[in-house]
Structure 1
Amino acid sequence: MMSSSIKFLCIVVVCLTASCAFSQPQRLSVYDVLMEYGFPVGLLPKGAIGYSLNRETGHFAVYFDKTCSFVIESYTLQYKSTISGIISNRRLYNLKGVTVKILLLWLNIVEVKRDDEDIYFSVGIASADFGVDNFLESPQCGCGFDCNKLPLNGDVSSI
């Protein structure tokens, strides 16, 4: 039989272990971090596998398993397996790893800014704005928002 002091010690150890487990802060997802800085989650496609963020400098990197591309309306977007830049409240700049195909040219998206209900995308020489409500949901690699229209064999290379 266990003495009452050993039982008490066991109970204390169990309580402390449980307390430590519950007090560990949960790491935010990269999508949660986007929202903290005033952006909708749909700026990034689904499937980010990790990120790094220096909250003092704003330098960040987001990681995907592989290059991700999809079409939204008439734009083809491509995210490299690592994208990086600097994030501040409602502004992403010095972006690397995100490109958009306009006509026959692939252009780097170098800055994204949010102004009230609009989001501005800059490729350096030009910019375009879109309503925030277009980015409330994250697109999916390969099919964007039209994933229900995939071929039956699952081949997304023709999309």
Structure 2
Amino acid sequence: MVETERLRLRGWRPADAVVHRELWTERDPRVPPPRRISADGHPSIEELEAWIRGAPREEEPRLLVVELRESGEMIGYCGLVHNPAVPEGEPELAYELLRRHWGRGYATEAARAIVERARAAGYPRLWASVRDWNTASRGVLAKLGFAESGRVEPDAVHGDSIFTTLAL
């Protein structure tokens, strides 16, 4: 578990599937279809519960639930993930918060805690890919010191993915 002034980042519980699915329903329509709720309603809450139950508990890197310390309310997730598009041993920072919690600095606070955890774990560098249209996430990454790497994956339909890095 990781704690900040206002947040607690912890492992997943099956009950978190309800909020996790809410995150899926809120995604921007420009997000590629495999990362949005399908026309036939997948992933379902049950499918997300199964994903949570099957996820490694202590393996790093991993995503953690972000909750408000004061209330215990889950507001999203933040952590590190493997991305085959970046060098081995250099994980990608990922985060997503419910829209009703945007604009309060929570994403930056949670991501900063994950960056510090990654630094302490000895990772040499972190990556973060972000769609060119996602100005809010681009702002979070800039506040954390991520810089554009010069690598861009063009996508005329969903928006180009910009790869950013942070040397630790």
Give the TM-score normalised by structure 1. 0.30
Which of the two has greater helix per residue?
2
Which of the two has greater strand per residue?
1
